A and B are shown apart, each in its own frame.
Chain A
C-alpha cells in the first residue's frame, strides 16, 4: 500500500459523512494529491519525495477530516444528531429491554427449579424469594439490558445522523440519554421495591453510560455482560432464599423486642368481675399490598373500658420458613396509625408500605391502660408487605 493510499484510507475513516459525500470528498483530495505530486516531479523531485511532500502539505488526515466534516454540516445537523440518537436509542433499547426481560424470566424459572431440586436433595425447604420487590428487580434487570444497548445505539445513531464522530457525540449522548434514563428509572418507575430492585434501577443510567462508552460492544461480548448481570441478581435471590429458611421456631418472639408492651393473651380478664373472656377478635380488610383496614371486636365493652389512645402498629417480622417471628431488637413499630374505639370495637386503617426494606410485618392493636402502660389489645398474623413507590421516594423514606 502506498503512502498516498494509506493517507486517503485514514482520511476516509476520519470523515463522519454519508457515504456518497465522503467518496466525493476523498476523490477530490486524491485528485489534488495527484496534481501536487505531478507538479513536484516536474520540478525535479523524485516520486517518493514528491509524494511525501504532497502529503505533508495536506497535514494530518484526522485533522483534515475533522475540518472537512465541520465544513459540511450546518446547525441542522445538531438537531439531526439529537433526533438520530433518540430514535436509534429507542429503536434498540425497547426491544432489547423486552428480550432481556424474557431472558431473565426464563433464567429465573430455571434457577427456581434448580434451587428446589437442590433443596429436596439436601432435605431443606429452599425457594427463591420472588415477592413483588424481586419481580421489580427482574424487570429492572431487563431495563439495564435495554439501556446498555440503547447507549451504544444512541451514540452510533447521533454520530451517523449528525455527521460527527462517536467521540464528538459521546458526551452529549451520555448526559442527555443518561438523564432521560435516570428520570425514567428513578422517578417514573413506581413499583414494589426492595434493595435489589433499587440497586438495579439506579444502575439503569449507568448501564446507558457504559453502553455509550463502549458503543462498539455487540453480539457475544454484550451477551456475556448481560448474562453476568442476570446471574449476579439471581445469585443474590438464591442467597436470599437460603437465608429465608434460616429462621425457625414458632410463635411470636416479643421477648426479643425492646418495647414496653406486655402480652396479655390468649385470654382477657375483665378487671371488674375477674371473668375470663375471649381474646378480642381481629378482622383485616385488605386494601392493597401494605394497606389494611383493621377492626377489632371484643366480647364485651368491659374489655376495652379504661383504655385510651388506641393505635394500629406494624412491626417487622422475619420471612416465613419453618416458623417465623418478629425481628428482634426493634425499638419501635415501623408504621403507626390512630384507631377509633367505641363500645366493644376498635377500628382504623394502617398503611405499612412506606418503609424501605420491610418484607414481612405483623399488625397489632395497642392502647394505654389505667396504669399508663401501653398494652397489646389484639394481634394479627404475619403479612407480606413491600415498599411501594419510586427510587427517589425510597431514599427519601430512608433519610426520614
Chain B
C-alpha cells in the first residue's frame, strides 16, 4: 500500500521525466517507466491516464493523435516549456525531499 501510494504521488514526475526524452503515447510511457526502473516500478495503468490528462489540462504536456501503420491511431504526448519548468522544479523538490528523508532514516549498513 505504501509503495503504491508513493508511486502514485511521484507519477507526474516520472511521466514528465520520460517525456523529456521525446514524444511517447500512453502505453509506451508505462513501458518506459518500467524499463528505467529495471521492472521494479510498474505504474498502475488505471492511474496513468488520469495523471496524463491532468498534466495536459494544466498545460505541462500536449497530446495529439497520429495514425499508425499497425494498429489503431494513438495519442502522442510531448512536454511543453511550462512542463519542462515544472519538471525542473519537481526534480529539485524530489532531491531535497529524498535527501531529508535519507538524513532522517539513514542508509542500510
Contact = CB atoms under 8 A, between A and B. Distances in A.
Interface of A: 24-25, 27-32, 34-36, 38, 57-60, 63-64, 67-68, 70-72, 74
B54 A71 contact: yes
A134 to B, nearest CB: 56
A31 B74 contact: yes
Contacts of B27: 31-32, 35-36
27 contacts: A24-B75, A25-B49, A27-B72, A27-B73, A28-B26, A30-B72, A31-B26, A31-B27, A31-B71, A32-B26, A32-B49, A34-B71, A35-B71, A58-B45, A58-B46, A59-B44, A64-B46, A64-B50, A67-B46, A68-B49, A68-B50, A68-B53, A71-B51, A71-B53, A71-B54, A71-B57, A74-B57
Nearest to A29: B49
Contacts of A71: 49-51, 53-54, 57
Nearest to A61: B46
A32 B45 contact: yes
A64 B46 CA distance: 6
B50 A28 contact: no
Nearest to B28: A35
Contact of A28 (B47, B49, B54, B71): B49
A31 B46 contact: no
Contact of B53 (A32, A63, A72): A72
Contacts of A57: 44-46
B35 to A, nearest CB: 13
Interface in B65-109: 65, 71-75
B5 to A, nearest CB: 15
Interface residues of B, number: 19
Contacts of A70: 50
Given A36-B27, A72-B53, A28 B75 contact: yes
A70 B46 CA distance: 13
Contacts of A64: 46, 49-50
A59 B54 contact: no
Contacts of B65: 24
B71 A38 contact: yes
A27 B54 CA distance: 17
Contacts of A68: 49-50, 53
A27 B73 CA distance: 9
Contacts of B49: 25, 28-29, 32, 64, 68, 71
A79 B47 CA distance: 27
Contacts of A58: 45-46
Nearest to B63: A28
A68 B53 CA distance: 7
A32 B29 CA distance: 11
A181 B87 CA distance: 49
Given A29-B49, A35-B71, A58-B46, 18 more contacts: A27-B72, A31-B26, A31-B71, A31-B72, A32-B26, A32-B45, A36-B27, A36-B45, A59-B45, A59-B46, A67-B46, A67-B47, A67-B50, A68-B49, A70-B50, A71-B51, A71-B54, A74-B57
A223 to B, nearest CB: 42
Interface string B9-24: 0000000000000000
B9 to A, nearest CB: 15
A59 to B, nearest CB: 3
Nearest to B51: A71
A133 B50 CA distance: 57
A29 B47 CA distance: 12
A30 B45 CA distance: 13
A130 to B, nearest CB: 59
A16 to B, nearest CB: 14
A28 B73 CA distance: 8
B57 A72 contact: yes
Nearest to A66: B50
A58 B46 CA distance: 4
Nearest to B56: A71
A169 to B, nearest CB: 20
A57 B71 CA distance: 20
B73 to A, nearest CB: 7
Contacts of B46: 57-60, 63-64, 67
